[in-house]
């Protein structure tokens, strides 16, 4: 088949551009990434990422990283859809055909079945697969990510470096900064300081967001002041030692909710009513 000269030139130019892009991408690899287990070499840009942490998965989707499968939480509740994926990115997960690895308890076999070229583990939290690190690291390069000691912007930047999606990470952060500035101008602050929690009515307990959490940092960026906890408060560490939340229950719950205003995350009116019905919280 003969092609017109102009068409041939257009195809040649397109080919050169694509090969140039591929060459630039190849030049960025291999990369060395350091985590709590040492320095790891990623020979090429990951194409099949498995996230064992449902918390990390949303950030990976946000920067268009090629995450193909993820651990999940209990499905069909206020925070998760029918797959156990978090509702704020549920639609994106379905559009990208994200596979569910398992619900709750991590499974090395489920991870291996996805044939990943990169595995991500959260260092802490209820979705951490850290106990399986030795097994998972024999399947593919495995990185441990701390999400509880940094802002979501820092997390996005870190994941961008790991996946080669730095540009997308920077774009998402810039979009957020623009929306944050607009929202801050319109907000009338309630009495300060504030306490921000996720309340679990059945357990009469709460996870309190600290200034180191992404949620706490966002509130402070909007102009809110987070209440300081009383000295000597003994909080639970059932999810490991975390920087982003403080687990409160029993008498500690009453002492910990000491702000002038209370922010209820991932809740509805039923949760608010349950708080007021708790006799330990009669002071609210």
Domains of the chain by start residue, with CATH: 29-176 (3.40.50.1980), 194-281 (3.40.50.1980)
Task: Dump the DSSP string for 232-245.
Answer: T---B-TT-S-SSE
| pLDDT (0 to 100) of residue 283 | 73
Q: Which residues have a Cβ under 8 Å from the Cβ of 227 and sit 6 or more positions away?
A: 193, 194, 195, 258, 259, 260
Residue 161 CB: number of other CB atoms within 10 A?
Answer: 13
| pLDDT (0 to 100) of residue 21 | 44
Residue 65 CB: number of other CB atoms within 10 A?
Answer: 25
| pLDDT (0 to 100) of residue 20 | 47
Q: Are 173 and 108 in contact (CB under 8 A)?
A: no
Q: Which residue's structure tokens are 């595995």?
A: 119
User: Does the pTM exceed 0.85?
Assistant: no
| pLDDT (0 to 100) of residue 125 | 87
Closest CA to 257 of 232, 231, 228: 228
| pLDDT (0 to 100) of residue 257 | 92
- How far is Cα 251 from Cα 233, in angstroms, rounded to an integer? 10
Q: Are 280 and 204 in contact (CB under 8 A)?
A: yes
| pLDDT (0 to 100) of residue 236 | 55
| pLDDT (0 to 100) of residue 234 | 60
Q: Per-residue pLDDT for the chain (284 aa), expressed as one digit of tens each? A: 444 554 445 545 455 545 444 444 555 899 999 999 999 999 999 999 999 999 999 999 999 999 999 999 999 988 899 999 999 999 999 999 999 999 989 999 999 999 999 999 999 988 999 999 999 999 999 999 999 888 899 999 999 999 999 999 999 999 999 999 999 999 999 999 999 999 998 888 999 999 988 899 999 999 999 999 888 776 555 555 678 889 998 888 989 999 999 999 988 899 999 998 888 887 77
- How far is Cα 50 from Cα 275, in angstroms, rounded to an integer? 38
């Amino acid at each position: 088949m003969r092609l017109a000269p102009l068409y041939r030139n257009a195809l040649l130019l397109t080919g050169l551009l694509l090969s140039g892009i591929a060459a630039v991408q190849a030049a960025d690899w291999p990369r060395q990434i350091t985590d709590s287990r040492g320095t790891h070499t990623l020979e090429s840009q990951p194409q099949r990422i498995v996230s064992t942490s449902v918390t990390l998965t949303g950030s990976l989707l946000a920067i268009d990283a090629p995450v193909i499968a993820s651990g999940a939480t209990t499905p069909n509740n206020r925070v998760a859809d029918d797959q156990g994926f978090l509702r704020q990115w549920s639609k994106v997960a379905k559009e990208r055909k994200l596979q569910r690895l398992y619900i709750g308890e991590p499974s090395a076999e489920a991870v291996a079945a996805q044939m990943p070229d990169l595995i991500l583990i959260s260092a802490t939290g209820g979705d951490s697969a850290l106990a399986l690190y030795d097994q998972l690291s024999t399947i593919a390069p495995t990185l441990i990510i701390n999400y509880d000691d940094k802002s979501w912007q820092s997390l996005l930047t870190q994941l961008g470096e790991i996946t080669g999606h730095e540009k997308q990470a920077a774009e998402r952060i810039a979009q957020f900064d623009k929306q944050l500035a607009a929202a801050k101008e319109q907000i009338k602050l309630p009495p300060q300081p504030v306490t921000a929690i996720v309340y679990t009515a059945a357990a009469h307990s709460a996870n309190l967001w600290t200034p180191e959490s992404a949620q706490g940092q966002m509130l402070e960026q909007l102009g809110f002041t987070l209440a300081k906890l009383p000295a000597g408060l003994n909080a639970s560490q059932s999810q490991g030692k975390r920087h982003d939340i403080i687990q409160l229950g029993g008498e500690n719950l009453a002492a910990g909710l000491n702000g002038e205003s209370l922010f209820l995350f991932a809740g509805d009116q039923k949760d608010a009513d349950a708080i007021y019905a708790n006799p330990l919280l009669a002071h609210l």
